[in-house]
Structure formats: structure tokens, C-alpha cells
């Protein structure tokens, strides 16, 4: 077992402020290699108050990514999350690719692996009457009951909000689905994954080239993780309201709604008569990726004094008085014929990190277009504990997953537990929560309930 004593990442102090001359040149070799490990704690000086969600128990009938990511965030913040899975098949995220083999010899997919840290897994067959009864017995012991099945599924199982609210009036019932449960919608029965709701919210169209299909999945699991953030916000709000009212409520998150909120520029620009392309780069200002010696860096110039600085830095101060660059729209029109060749000539002997650093030193927003290996070496990522090493039983090298992005002055990092094996905590949860005996648990297992 790894020690849970505070272990700070090995971080060399930068020469002056970040962005000072020489800073970017030394970033890669300044000792920024430490990553969080399972069982490890950091910043214990922030942890003497405990974690903000300690004492909150979450019972989650969840699958794939959206809800599991939300409950993992709650777990990072101190909630006890008990995940309900089918006792032999597990949840559907276990079947994703790529896969590793866990300590039980079971193949486990990437979607499950990255969304289930700090959780307990109990195996209950909710299609079995005794399994549903067992779930109902657990409900009064939890603050949050969460599910992300198609709307109506939990109702058909007799485990919907109407039932849960009687069993536990203080329970916050969180539903996360493609199109929501509380309000009628023509899409209620449509299945949904992240790319579907991203497309329906209008995210893909602004970057579609003429006579070509729109690019799909432009931001990984935005539809899932974006929805998860709203799920956490809604749950925390409901828990806070419960403190005043004494009652829980049904928190209903539609992935489609979440993506409309994420893509808020789409409807607003249309209502103002602006072209759809204004929601992305290329119509106004300078926003683009430019080649350096080892890849690309992105530059964003939206203000006139930043344009003047950019022009001067790359050796074209004359642009400041050139009519072609008199407006922000003019800047955008000149990106390909004029600005790109000039920036890339200036950057050809610089790495993407060096080019970004040189611009940032003058207040111009820029950053390297990173690949995973860049993140593995990045000092910010290390200092913020944003990568976690998870040991594997089937390989010497650990798996890398992302950490908790919520940083608080009274919140320590870790300790983090690894993803649970299927049904790993079934016996323990049933014994401690429902006080079932070994004989009762054995009988449930023989009947295929657990």
C-alpha cells in the first residue's frame, strides 16, 4: 500500500514569473515528472477540514460516461459513491475499447476505466424482482439516487422518482438522459450518445466546409462531460435546497439541453443576424493554428493593441498603418495570404512551446497544440495533479487517467482509489448498510440477484 503522507510533485521554481525569458526553454527539463498515484495524498495542509461532500452517499445505477463522470467528480469531492452494476455483465462502459485485464481476469474497457475512480461496485440484477427490492432497501440510506437510462426505464422497473421519493423523501433523484424526463419532448425515446446531441445543438455546422459533411466529434466527450458538469451543479443545488426544505427533488439533465448551453453562441448570433461562422475562427480577428518546428501553436488576437504587438514581434510593424489591417474583419481576411506566412517564417526555428512563450511574454494569447506526450511532460499538469497513474495487473506501465479539475483552498488531493472490480464491494455494502448476514447474502447470490 502506498503511503498517504503528503508527497509534493518535484517542481523547480521557474526563473521569475511564468513567461519570463528562458522559462519556456526550461519547462521540459525542470523536473516536472511527478504524477498522482493511487492511494497518495497531496496538499494535506488543505485537508484538515475534510472534503466538502463528506457524508453524502450516492447510489448510482449508471453506465457509459456522462453520469459516471459526474459521480466520479462527486467522489473526488468526498462523496461516497456506490455504483450498481449487473452482477455478471457489469455496465456497458466495461465493453469499450481499448481494454485491459483486471485482477479478476476480466477485460475492462477504457470508458469504464477513466470514469470510476473512488467508487464502490455492487452487483445487483435490477431485472430480478428481488434485485429491485434490494435496491429499494438501499434507497433510504443514500442522499442521492442517480440513473442515466432511457427515460421511463427506471419507472418500468418500479424505481423511478415517484417510488424513491416515498421511500426517502430527502433523496435527490438525478436523471441524466439524451433529452430529459420531466418535460415532454418528441425526442424522449431517442437513444443518444455525445455526437448526437453535439450535432443537434449546432456545434458541428460552423466549421463545415462547403459541399462537405460536418466534422463529427470535434471535442472528445464534450456531450458527456459537459452534461456531467450540469448534473453535478443540479445535484449540489438540490442538496442545498434540501437543507432549507427538508425535501429532495428530481434533478433532470438533458444532454441536448447541456450542449445548447455549451454552444450558446449559435442561437444568439443567428438572432443578431450574424453569420454562423462567427461562432468559430476565420471571420473576425486572428484565431488560428500556425506551424512551428515541432508542431502547431494557436494564436488568438482579438484587440487592436495585441495586433500591434504581434505585428512588431514577427517583424511587420508596417501592418499597423496598412489599410488591409484596419479592422478585425480585415485581419481575418489576411490570415492565409499574409499573416500565416509571416508568423510561420518567424516561428520556423522555434518549438511550438517557445513560440507560444515568446508571444505570451508580450501579452498575446498563445499556446501549443498539444498531444498526449506533451501533457505527460507539462509542468502545469504536474503541479495541478491533473494526471493520475493507475497500476495495471496486465502490464508493467501504469494507465494514465485525468484528475480532479476542482481545486479548493480547503481541499486536499487524494487519496484516490482505483476503479472497482465488478461487484467488488457487494458483500461489504450489503453488510454495513443493510446489515445482511452471510447466509442472506449467499442466498441472494445463489438466486442470481447479486
Residues assigned a catalytic role: 224
Q: What cell was used for 14?
A: 521557474
| Total count of residues recorded for the chain | 450
Place of cell 477504457: 110
For helices 352-360 and 304-313, give the axis angle rounded to 10 degrees: 130
CA dihedral 343, 349, 351, 353 (to 10 degrees): -50
Q: How far apart are the first and last CA of the chain?
A: 29
Tally of CA atoms within 13 A in the half-sphere of 277 that contains its CB: 11
Q: What are phi and psi of 231, to 5 degrees?
A: -65, -40
Instruction: Report the Cα 99 to chain-centroid distance in Å.
Output: 20
How is 247-307 classified by DSSP, letter by letter?
Answer: ---EEEEEHHHHHHHHTTHHHHHHHTT--GGGGSTTSSSEEEEEEETTEEEEEEE-SHHHH
Q: Residues 257, 180: contact at Cβ < 8 Å?
A: yes
Cis before residue 365, ω within 30 degrees of 0?
Answer: no
Amino acid at each position: 500500500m502506498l503511503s498517504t503522507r503528503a508527497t509534493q510533485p518535484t517542481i523547480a521554481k521557474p526563473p521569475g514569473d511564468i513567461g519570463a525569458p528562458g522559462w519556456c526553454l526550461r519547462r521540459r527539463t525542470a523536473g516536472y515528472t511527478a504524477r498522482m498515484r493511487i492511494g497518495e495524498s497531496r496538499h494535506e495542509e488543505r485537508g484538515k477540514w475534510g472534503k466538502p461532500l463528506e457524508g453524502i452517499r450516492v447510489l448510482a445505477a449508471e453506465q457509459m460516461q456522462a453520469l459516471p463522470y459526474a459521480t466520479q467528480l462527486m467522489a473526488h469531492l468526498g462523496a461516497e459513491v456506490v455504483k450498481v452494476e449487473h452482477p455478471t455483465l457489469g455496465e456497458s462502459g466495461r465493453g469499450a475499447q481499448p481494454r485491459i485485464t483486471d485482477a479478476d481476469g476480466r477485460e475492462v474497457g477504457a470508458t469504464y476505466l477513466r470514469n470510476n475512480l473512488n467508487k464502490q461496485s455492487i452487483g445487483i440484477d435490477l431485472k430480478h424482482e428481488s434485485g429491485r427490492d434490494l435496491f429499494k432497501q438501499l434507497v433510504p440510506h443514500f442522499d442521492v439516487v442517480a440513473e442515466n437510462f432511457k427515460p421511463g426505464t427506471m419507472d418500468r422497473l418500479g424505481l423511478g422518482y415517484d417510488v424513491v421519493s416515498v421511500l426517502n423523501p430527502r433523496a435527490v433523484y438525478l436523471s441524466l438522459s439524451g433529452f430529459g424526463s420531466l418535460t415532454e419532448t418528441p425526442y424522449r425515446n431517442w437513444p443518444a450518445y455525445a455526437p448526437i446531441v453535439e450535432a443537434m445543438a449546432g456545434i458541428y455546422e460552423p466549421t463545415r466546409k462547403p459541399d462537405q459533411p460536418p466534422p463529427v466529434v470535434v471535442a472528445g466527450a464534450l456531450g458527456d462531460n459537459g452534461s456531467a458538469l450540469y448534473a453535478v451543479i443540479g445535484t449540489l443545488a438540490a442538496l442545498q435546497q434540501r437543507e432549507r426544505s427538508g425535501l429532495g427533488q428530481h434533478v433532470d439533465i438533458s444532454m441536448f439541453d447541456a450542449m445548447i448551453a455549451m454552444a450558446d453562441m449559435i442561437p444568439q448570433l443567428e438572432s443578431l443576424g450574424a453569420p454562423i461562422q462567427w461562432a468559430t475562427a476565420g471571420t473576425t480577428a486572428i484565431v488560428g493554428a500556425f506551424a512551428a518546428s515541432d508542431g502547431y501553436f494557436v494564436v488568438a488576437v482579438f484587440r487592436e493593441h495585441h495586433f500591434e504587438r504581434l505585428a512588431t514581434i514577427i517583424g511587420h510593424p508596417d501592418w499597423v498603418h496598412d489599410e488591409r489591417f484596419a479592422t478585425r474583419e480585415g485581419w481575418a481576411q489576411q490570415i492565409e495570404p499574409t499573416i500565416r506566412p509571416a508568423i510561420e517564417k518567424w516561428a520556423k526555428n522555434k518549438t511550438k512551446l517557445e513560440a507560444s512563450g515568446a508571444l505570451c511574454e508580450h501579452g498575446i494569447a498563445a499556446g501549443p497544440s498539444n498531444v498526449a506526450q506533451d501533457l505527460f511532460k507539462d509542468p502545469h499538469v504536474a503541479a495541478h495533479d491533473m494526471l493520475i497513474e493507475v497500476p495495471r495487473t496486465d502490464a508493467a506501465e501504469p494507465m494514465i487517467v485525468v484528475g480532479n479539475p476542482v481545486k479548493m483552498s480547503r481541499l486536499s488531493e487524494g487519496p484516490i482509489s482505483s476503479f472497482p472490480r465488478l461487484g467488488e464491494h457487494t458483500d461489504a455494502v450489503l453488510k454495513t448498510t443493510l446489515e445482511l448476514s452471510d447466509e442472506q447474502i449467499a442466498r441472494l447470490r445463489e438466486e442470481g440477484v447479486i
